Structures are given as C-alpha cells and as structure tokens.
Amino acid sequence: MGSHLPLADARAVVLEQAAPLDTETVALADALGRAIAQPVDAPHSLPPFDNSAMDGFALRAADTAGAADGAPVTLRLAGESRAGTPEEAELQPGEAMKISTGAALPAGADAIVRVEWTTRPDEEHVAIDRELTVGNDVRPAGDDVNAGDRVLESGMTIGPGELAMLASVGAAEISCTRRPRVAIVTTGDELVAPGGTLGHGQIFDSNSAMLAALAVTGGADVISVTAAVADDAATTDDAIAKALSEADVLIVCGGVSVGEHDHVKPALEKAGVSQVFWQVAMRPGHPTCFGLRENPGARTTLIFGLPGNPVSAYATFHMFARPALMQLGGRSPFPPSVKARLASELKKPAGHTQVLRCRMSRDEQGWLATPTSRNQRSHAISSVVGVQGLALLPEDATLLPEGEIVTVELMPDGTLESL
C-alpha cells in the first residue's frame, strides 16, 4: 500500500485485520477488565423474594387503619424475620413481626413500618403512630430484574458493577473473549535499562515500560518484553523471530525508518511479515508501519512497527495498536470522543493529522483542550504526562486559532472522572 496513508484510512485498514479472538471460560474472580463474549440473561428475579427495605416490623397495612400521632395502633409481636433466616410462620391479622433490612417478607404481611415510627409499650407489642399503605418499604421480587431479563450484553467490559451483577445471578464463571497476547521489542544501541549507568550518548529506555503498560491497559496479556535490542541485523532478526513465536500482536519500537542502522523492516520481511502500509500522514509518528504474518494452522499475527521517539510511540500506539487490541479482545475499538475548543492558537504544516496531547477542562461553553506542554515535539516526554485527551488537528489545517473546535479522543483510563 502506498506511503503517506491518511490517518483515518490507516486505522480502518488495521481494524479490518483485527477480528475478535476466540472465547474462553473465565472464573468470576479473574474476569475484571475482560470482554463478555455472550449475552447474560437472569435465571431468576432480583430480588428473588419480597423483602424489607428497612429495619422495622412487617405487618398488614389494613391493621394500621386510623393510626395517628397520639392515637397509635398496637399490634402483638409474633416472631422475627432476619436476613438469611426468614420466619416460616404466616402473619395473622392483628400481628406484627420484627424484620431486618433485606429479610424476606413473611407470608400474610404486605407492608413494613420503620422502627423509628414505632414505640414499644411492652416486650410483646409494638405501637404504630401512622397509617400505612400496601407495599410501604417493601422491595418486591423482580423490582430490579425479572427472570429471563437480559442483564449484560456481549462486548461489555466487566467492571466492578458487572461483577456484582454476575455474582447476583449466580454466575461463578463467564464466557469472555480471549485477551490478545502481545510481544514487545524495543531497539537502539543508545538504550540503557532504568537503574543502569548512562554512558555518553545514551538514554534510559522509557519505551519498554510505557508500551507494556499501554498494552495492559488496552486489555492485552504482555507475554514478553525484549528491551534495548542492539542496532545489528542478526540480533534484530533473532529478537523479532523469537517474539513472533507466541504472539497475536507484535509491537516493535524503533528502527522502522530507512537509516543505515534501521534493521526492523528487513527483519520483519525475513520472518515472513507482509507489509500492509508504511508511513502515515500524521505527526508525531509518520514512519509507522503495519504488517501481517500468516501462521499455518493459526491466527494471523498483527505487527506494528512504531517509531523510537517516545512521544511518537505513545501517539501511534493509541492511534493503531490500542484500537486493534480492543477489537481483538471483543470490545469497541475507540474511546469516547468529544468536540472541544483549543485553549490557544496552534500552527502546523499542512499534509498530516497532528495528534496533540491535551489536558481537558469544562466551562459554560463546553470542553476546553489545553496542550500538556508547550513542547509537543516527538522526543518531549513531558508532553505525555497527565494526558487526558488526544486532539486530532485536521490534515489540511495550518493555523488553528484559539477557540477552534476539534475532535478529541478521551483517554480510557478514568483521568476525567473529576470533570
């Protein structure tokens, strides 16, 4: 495919190759963050029985007729229904039964009087000073969910609330889309592992930790990270061949350009990877490449060659690798997006979409996007700190005035919860 592919077209090409993975049965305790593979219907109603919404007394509403402040109705106590230990005896006219929140409503009762609306003239009676209606403070069976109702749809991500629903309908395990297995390779003679000692001309490897974290937040299982591979053809060939052996997705960072020491593209070709595209009309991240390797008897492996500059790697991961991982894992590929005003004037060359790292705020006019840093160049790691949204500045634009409306893809990690 030709060079300088528009960003939207390149993303569409990637997603065409990212069909959801097969399914597997997962224990409820291990299901957090997974995508539901099949709809879930309630086998029983929630709540499954009529129960009390308050601590108090179960009674017949008709027995409180005429009750008023200063003229209470007195009923005889006839036992207690506790949560988990219901009273089996049927409530008779003129009787009340002590009851706790969540306890099953005893047969014969049709209302609850709150304990604070009562007095106790003696140990065997309760006095009620107001007239009640049928159903007062009763949570009827099926008040939340009826048996057979659809409670969770396929493709939903299982969060704490979804776990609560699954547990409530008695599901000890759930069918989920398998997490994509991701291998990561970072390249560069200049890279040193954090904690090491920098020589002249060397930098610490930030891409390995960042990309592994991004893959995990994208719903992947990171099965290997091969860091700081030397800029040597044979070494690069070996690292890529090993990384491809078990992965659904391979992410290679650095070495994807055309310099004398860029060995990734030849190594991918030797490993049987067919290039789908190389070079996208975007900044940062122009030299991104995407390829496929057909595996006999197995799924096709998706390969992303990301630029080595950390900001370029960050932006291209969000634009291409994350949507692919989300769709492979059975979820919607893209995060929510909003229209936002730019907080300041911005200039850019025409001919590419610029991915601007932003912090987001809201005022009476709506969303406002402020660059995370004045330095938005591809080496400026400060620009990926505190990112809440990625603003997509249009390909044909050269000057975007303050207040210009742009599309912003919001970060999917909860950083906007306070806004």
User: DSSP letters of 311-365?
Assistant: HHHHHHIIIIIHHHHHHHTTS-SS--EEEEEESS-EE--SSSEEEEEEEEEEETT
CA distance 170 to 192: 50
Residue spans per domain, the chain: 5-22+179-328, 25-46+143-177, 51-139, 337-410
Among 351, 216, 337, smallest CA distance to 279 is for 351
* Element containing residue 239 per DSSP (H, E): helix 233-244
What pLDDT score does 417 carry?
Answer: 47
DSSP H helical ranges for 254-321:
264-270, 310-316
Please report the pLDDT score of residue 189 as a whole number: 87
- List of residues 6+ apart from 122 with CB closer than 8 A: none
Residue 14, number of CB atoms within 10 A of its CB: 21
> CA neighbours within 13 Å on the CB side: how many for 224?
17
- The CATH T-level fold of domain 5-22+179-328 is Molybdenum Cofactor Biosythetic Enzyme; Chain A (3.40.980)
**DSSP string of 54-87, one letter each residue:** SSEEEE-GGGGTT-BTTB-EEEEEEEEEBTTB--
Which helix (H) or strand (E) segment holds residue 340: the answer is strand 337-342
Tokens for 343?
């907080």
Give pLDDT < 70 ranges for the chain.
1-3, 257-261, 413-419
Q: In a 10 Å sphere around its CB, with 0-12 CB exposed, 13-18 middle and 19+ buried, how is residue 258 labelled?
A: exposed
Q: CA–CA separation, 281 vs 8, rounded Å?
A: 9
Cα separation of 415 and 315, whole Å?
17
CATH code of the region 51-139: 2.170.190.11
Per DSSP, 169 falls in state T
Domain 25-46+143-177 CATH (choose: 3.90.105.10, 3.40.190.10, 3.90.550.10, 3.10.20.440): 3.90.105.10
CA distance 8 to 15: 11
Q: How far is CA 293 from CA 269, 290, 301, 305, in A?
A: 9, 11, 5, 13
Amino acid letter, 381? I
Q: Which of 188, 407, 210 minimizes the C-alpha distance to 314? A: 210
Whole-number Å distance between alpha carbons of 391 and 371: 9
Q: Quote the pLDDT of residue 413.
A: 63
Burial of 48 (0-12, 13-18, 19+ CB in 10 A): middle
Instruction: Round to whole Å and give the CA distance between 251 and 212.
Output: 10
Report d(CA 69, CA 72) in Å as an integer.
6
Query: Is the link from the previous residue into 43 a cis peptide, with omega within 30 of 0?
Result: no
Report the CATH number of the 337-410 domain.
2.40.340.10
pLDDT value, residue 408:
98
pLDDT of residue 255: 78
pTM over 0.85: yes
First to last CA, the chain: 42
Q: What are the start-end ranges of the E strands in 254-295?
A: 274-278, 280-283, 289-293
- The predicted structure's pLDDT at residue 261: 61
- Does residue 282 sit in helix, strand or coil? strand
Check: CB of residue 220 under 8 Å from CB of residue 325.
yes
Whether a cis peptide bond, with omega within 30° of 0, leads into 284 is yes
pLDDT for 418: 46
Q: Supply the pLDDT for residue 2.
A: 45
